[in-house]
Structure 1
Amino acid sequence: MNYLLRGIGVVTAVGMISLLSFSLPSPSGEARGDGGSDTLPKLTHKNWQQECASCHIAYAPAFLPKASWRRVMGGLDQHFGENASLDPVTQADILRFLEANAADAGTSRMGNRVMRDIGPKDAPLRVTETRWFVRKHDEVSRAVWSRKAVGSAANCAACHRQAEQGVFDEDTVNIPK
């Protein structure tokens, strides 16, 4: 009986530690575990927010694998038709952050879902090119993407009003006319 009680205590302690570690922030600044099914953990990284969000939403690292982020950051001089070059120190800092929180880093459920549809050697350059994105938006017509208030599939915040906070739940979508 004494062994049984001790065993239950160990199992309970391990379970509590697991639950606590699931919600503690990781060294990369991302909280472990997501909120809802389409909610990303709140990320904070000064250079990523300052540099990437100066032109568009700072895309969640969990939307692409590490290899994709390397491609994006390695081609900033021709970043989707713009020169978004950064000084080498800032560029390396942002890349480290993106890699630490990428879809294949195992730090978020959203990233795990994105990776289900990406091959181990695949490195899509755009979030909108991922099979996960295409599947999640298959009911959205080309006409919606081309609306002036939307602009393109890359403009997450046009429909996902809480995209900046990492919320992409379908319940919060508001497609502009």
Structure 2
Amino acid sequence: MQALIRTLGAVGWGAGFLVSSVWADAPSMPAHVLPIYKQECAACHTLYPPALLPAASWQRILSGLAHHYGTDASLEPEQVQQITVWLKAHAGTSKRVLEAPPEDRITRSAWFVREHREVEAAVWKRKSIQSAAQCSACHSQADVGRFGERELRIPR
């Protein structure tokens, strides 16, 4: 009986370790969010934690704001420079984001696709969600970089 209890305890500890190590490299928002980043970028979409993309992706995104995924998101050169420096300083370096996703889209990255594989295409098109780029529609703590299942509420 003691051996069984020790085994179950080890399995429980192992499962806890596995869960914590899976989330060890989870993206989070830096303690200080650059005000101009929050003001300009969050005006149109979720305020993405910089760690969701590698520095090279952020550089390409910021250098093409005149054609930002079909929208003119142009900013003053000084603003672009400020945001670029901040994003690159906080960009993702984990194994999860080392490879830039197609078109530098967070929603097309391998980890994003894997994490959302159970979400049907019709769900993304709901009026309450609009697209996969609107993380905060389902993740109530997305603005602070928390994307865990505890904060997940898929609207109708």
Q: What's the TM-score once normalised by structure 1's chain length?
A: 0.69
Deviation, 1:113, is 5.0
**Segments of 4+ moved more than 2 angstroms:** 36-39
My pick for the range that moved more, 53-62 or 129-138, is 53-62
Give me the whole-angstrom Cα distance separating, in 2, the residues matched to 1:137 and 1:89: 36
Percent of aligned pairs sharing the same letter: 43
Query: Do 1:52 and 1:58's aligned partners in 2 also have CA atoms closer than 8 Å?
Result: yes
| 8 Å CA contact 1:57, 1:156 repeated in 2 | yes
| Selected match of 2:39 from 26, 44, 50 | 50
1:170 to 146, 149, 152: 149
The equivalent residue for 1:102 is 91
Mapped to 2, the partners of 1:48 and 1:157 lie a distance apart of 17
From 97, 119, 127, the equivalent of 1:140 is 119
Aligned to 1:91: 80
Match of 2:28 among 14, 28, 40: 40
Contact 2:101 2:109 in 1 (8 A): no
Gaps of 5+ in 1: 1-35, 105-111
* Ranges in structure 2 where 5+ consecutive residues have no aligned partner: 1-22
**Pairwise CA distance, 1:60:** 1.0
Preserved contact between residue 101 and residue 110 of structure 2 (Cα < 8 Å): no
Instruction: Report how many aligned residue pairs link the two structures.
Output: 131
Work out whether residues 73 and 95 of structure 1, in 8 Å CA contact, stay in contact via their aligned partners in 2.
Answer: yes
**1:92-142 C-alpha deviation (Å, 9 max, x unpaired):** 1100000001112xxxxxxx2522xx43xx454110011011111111110
